[in-house]
Amino acid sequence: MRVPLYLALVHHPVVNRNQEVIASAVTNLDLHDLARLVRTYDLPDCFIVTPLQDQQQLARELVAHWCEGVGRELHPHRWQALERLRIVDDIGAACTAIQNETGTWPRLWATSARPHGVMIGHEEARQSLFDSGSQNGLPYLLLLGTAWGLAPGVVEACDAVLASIPAASDYNHLSVRCAAAILVDRLASRDRRNETQ
């Protein structure tokens, strides 16, 4: 059974180092690594969220290169991952796409390296994904902020904020790709799923 967990790599609204709301740039590495992550854990899709048309075009060209023609022929594993990327204008468009597929508006989970009031632990979030009760089958959308993180308004609009990944030192600056991989493994790995059943 596929875990009903979608990812969204959010490029707007995010904040810069001065906590000003900005739109960040799409990067090649983020797209490749998140596509591979989604494919490896068999998650439905990863949304690339940016309202900037030039950034959307860049993402579409990258995906097309690996999913069509020579790129597809030479690297079949790459297109199998990159075909799970979907480019949208905003978080609402991602939610609408999920609702159109599943019949249900997704629950939104924010991520942050900074503390935010009440945060839910990774195991509690995992249980929500696999709960055999009323939560079963609900889609979830995990919002991953680029730049210096999700804008405060985005975090406040979410159903929950996941607990930060604890650092083993006072240095806590994981890339969004690393944080996504850690969180997806904690929330959706088959090994952990077997441990909780």
Q: Is the pLDDT of residue 4 over 60?
A: yes
Reply yes or no on whether the pLDDT at 197 is more than 70: no
Q: How does strand 14-15 pair with strand 21-22?
A: antiparallel
Buried b (16+ CB within 10 A) or exposed e, 179-189: bbbebbebbbe
**Statement: the pTM of the whole predicted model exceeds 0.85:** yes
Residue 76 has pLDDT above 60, yes or no: yes
pLDDT score at 134: 42
In order of start, what are the domains of the chain with their CATH numbers? 5-196 (3.40.1280.10)
Query: What is the overall mean pLDDT for the chain?
Result: 92
Query: Given this model, what pLDDT does residue 34 score?
Result: 98
CA–CA dist 93, 73 (Å, integer)? 31
The torsion angles phi and psi of 151, rounded to 5 degrees, stand at -65, 150
Cβ neighbours of 94 (radius 10 Å): 26
At residue 94, the pLDDT reads 99
| pLDDT computed for residue 137 by the predictor | 72
Rounded-to-integer distance, Cα 165 and Cα 167, Å: 6
Round to whole Å and give the CA distance between 87 and 9. 10
pLDDT in tens, 152-182: 999 999 999 999 999 899 888 899 999 999 9
Q: Which residue has better confidence, 130 or 195?
A: 130
Question: What is the mean pLDDT of the segment spanning 86-95?
Answer: 99
> Residue 51, Cβ neighbours under 10 Å: how many?
14
> pLDDT per residue over 180-189, tens digit each?
999 999 999 8
What was the pLDDT predicted at 133? 34
* Top-ranked range on mean pLDDT: pick from 30-34, 130-134, 135-139: 30-34
Q: Say how far residue 161 (Cα) sits from the centre of its chain.
A: 13
> Which tokens belong to 95?
């939610």
- At residue 136 the predicted structure's pLDDT band, cuts being 50, 70 and 90, is low
Classify strands 160-161 and 46-49 as parallel, antiparallel or unpaired. unpaired
Q: Which residue has the tokens 């995906």?
A: 63
Q: Which of 45, 54, 41, 143 is nearest to 86 (CA)?
A: 45
Could you give the residue ranges of the DSSP H alpha helices within 110-173? 122-130, 152-157
Tens of pLDDT, residue by residue over 12-50, are: 999 999 999 999 999 999 999 999 999 999 999 999 999
7: part of which helix (H) or strand (E)? strand 5-10
pLDDT band at 132 (very low <50, low <70, confident <90, very high): very low
> 97 with 86: CB under 8 angstroms?
yes
**Of 99-113, 130-144, 149-163, which range is least confident?**
130-144
